[in-house]
Amino acid sequence: MPGLLAAVALAIAGCASAARHLVRPPLESEGELIVELQPLPSRQAPQSDVSSVAAAGGGGDRPLELLLGRIAGEPVQTQRTLARGRLAPGAYDGLVVVLRGRGGEPATIRVEAPFSIARRHATVLLLSARLPAAAAAGDEDDADGPRVPALTAAVAQRPVPAALGFCSSASRSEVAGFDKALREVATVLPAGRAPWGVAVDGFSNRAYVALADEDQVAIFDTGTGEEQNRIRLNVGDQPREIGLTPDRRTLVTANAGSNSVSILDTAAMTEIGRIAVGVEPSTVLVDRRGQRAYVFNLGSNSFSVIDLANRMLVATIGTDEQPLRGQIDRSGTRLYVASARSPVLTVYSLSDFSVQNRVHIGLGTSGIKVDSASDLIFVAKARERRLLVYDPLALIPVDRVEAAEGATYFAIDDAQNALFALSPEGNTVSVVDLASRRLVARFDVGEDARAISLNGERN
């Protein structure tokens, strides 16, 4: 049974089974190159198969791991990860890309795009593909064979901290930094082993990352991307998700390995409290006033209520089987809890933790999110490419929103009024405009993705 619960915990927290991912150790003597294929409108799609991608220079061409086998347009703005690989530090000339067009003949394209690789750092290269003007207008291939798209590339520029969001990738030992406005990955922060929960402090330009396999919380400068420090937990804690209070003074970690919660002082960078909770706490929710944390215990079918000021357990409340996570309504009076093995969304009163309602939403729930601006409830399903939108009063579905399949983790950008939905099954983040409730963009993130966090996130 413990093994089963552990496997379920991995899936719930935003990843597939570890057996499906090759776990890469943290960078040491090498650096890494990530090649991102920039969005291409459908009408200009080159429709070319990609045979290989290599880094040019550095004493020869260095093959990269090919992650995308085809260049093609998408119905919505979509950035895809084409290739990536670890390289020796040094200067490189660009890329060598081998394509196959409709005629089947290979075409080797050398893309001039000087970049450098530094030890224990990652470089993101943005690759753009465009067809010749005649082909883009719909002309057929001429007698000389298929038209080969023109490729250009440039090193991505790091966005200002206010524009950044972050997504952890456990098997890649990294955190992807994406531009919230452009909706594309622009930087990658190499991290320690099994990065899981992420929390952003926009005031201090810090990003906190829980390292599940190192029992630590890493602290990054979001302006430079450099790691600043680490907060050490107890051996075997295996921290999962983390939550930051609105005043940014307190960080809460759900320690699945020790069935505990740590309360961390972000100024002193040390643990100031530790509370025993249920079995395998995996997700955590800090309320909007920073007074309480709600920790959801996957292994004991319960959630624990923590008084943060007094650093004590207030209550432990039973739930349906395998609680995924909880969300608080706009008024701060109700807590919605979804469970992996229950077709019911349970509504608890936060005054006395009594059950106010039980709403049938069907089996297969993978994640939920409440938009505090509208009070609407977004529900994701494991095998559905859509989000169900529930009215908070009638508690009935009022809309459906397209998104990638099986979203597990959500964050809302307040300035753009946009919902970012993480779908680990496809290593994808979908971006939904909340005003129109339409899917407007997608971008790839690293495998085994666990959590996302935004600078300027709506709570």
d(CA 85, CA 103) in angstroms, rounded, equals 29
Q: Which stretches does DSSP call E strand in 308-435?
A: 312-318, 323-328, 334-339, 344-349, 355-360, 365-370, 377-381, 386-390, 397-402, 409-413, 418-423, 428-433
d(CA 20, CA 10) in angstroms, rounded, equals 12
According to DSSP, residue 291 is labeled S
Residue 20 sits at φ, ψ, to 5 deg, of -85, -5
Given this model, what pLDDT does residue 183 score?
Answer: 97
Return per-residue pLDDT of the chain as tens, 459 residues. 444 344 334 444 443 333 456 889 999 999 999 999 999 876 655 578 999 999 998 788 999 999 999 998 888 999 999 999 999 999 999 999 999 866 678 899 999 999 999 999 999 999 999 876 545 455 544 444 456 789 999 999 999 999 999 999 999 999 999 999 999 999 999 999 999 999 999 999 999 999 999 999 999 999 999 999 999 999 999 999 999 999 999 999 999 999 999 999 999 999 999 999 999 999 999 999 999 999 999 999 999 999 999 999 999 999 999 999 999 999 999 999 999 999 999 999 999 999 999 999 999 999 999 999 999 999 999 989 999 999 999 999 999 999 999 999 999 999 999 999 999 999 999 999 999 999 999 999 999 999 999 999 999
Given this model, what pLDDT does residue 361 score?
Answer: 97
Other Cβ atoms within 10 Å of 57 Cβ, number: 18
- C-alpha dist (Å) from residue 173 to 44, 120, 122, 235, 451: 35, 11, 12, 19, 13
CA 115 to chain centre: 26
AA identity, residue 320: D
CB 116 within 8 A of CB 123: yes
CB 36 within 8 A of CB 80: yes
Given this model, what pLDDT does residue 59 score?
Answer: 83
Other Cβ atoms within 10 Å of 160 Cβ, number: 12
Residue 288 sits at φ, ψ, to 5 deg, of -70, -15
Given this model, what pLDDT does residue 282 score?
Answer: 96
Q: Which has the closest alpha carbon to 34: 147, 162, 114, 126? A: 126
The CB-based long-range contact list for 143-146 (8 Å cut-off, 24+ gap) reads 145/101, 145/103, 145/105, 146/101, 146/102, 146/103, 146/105
The residue count of the chain comes to 459
d(CA 383, CA 364) in angstroms, rounded, equals 7
Given this model, what pLDDT does residue 45 score?
Answer: 58
CB 440 within 8 A of CB 420: no
CB 40 within 8 A of CB 127: no
Residue partners of 268: CB distance under 8 A and separation at least 6: none
d(CA 121, CA 220) in angstroms, rounded, equals 13
Given this model, what pLDDT does residue 73 score?
Answer: 85
Given this model, what pLDDT does residue 72 score?
Answer: 86
Residue partners of 403: CB distance under 8 A and separation at least 6: 380, 385, 386, 387, 421, 423, 430, 432, 439
Report the chain's C-alpha Rg in angstroms.
23
d(CA 454, CA 173) in angstroms, rounded, equals 19
Residue showing tokens 């086998």: 69
Q: Cβ-count burial of 1 within 10 angstroms (0-12 exposed, 13-18 middle, 19+ buried)?
A: exposed
Torsion 196-121-453-78 (CA) sign: negative
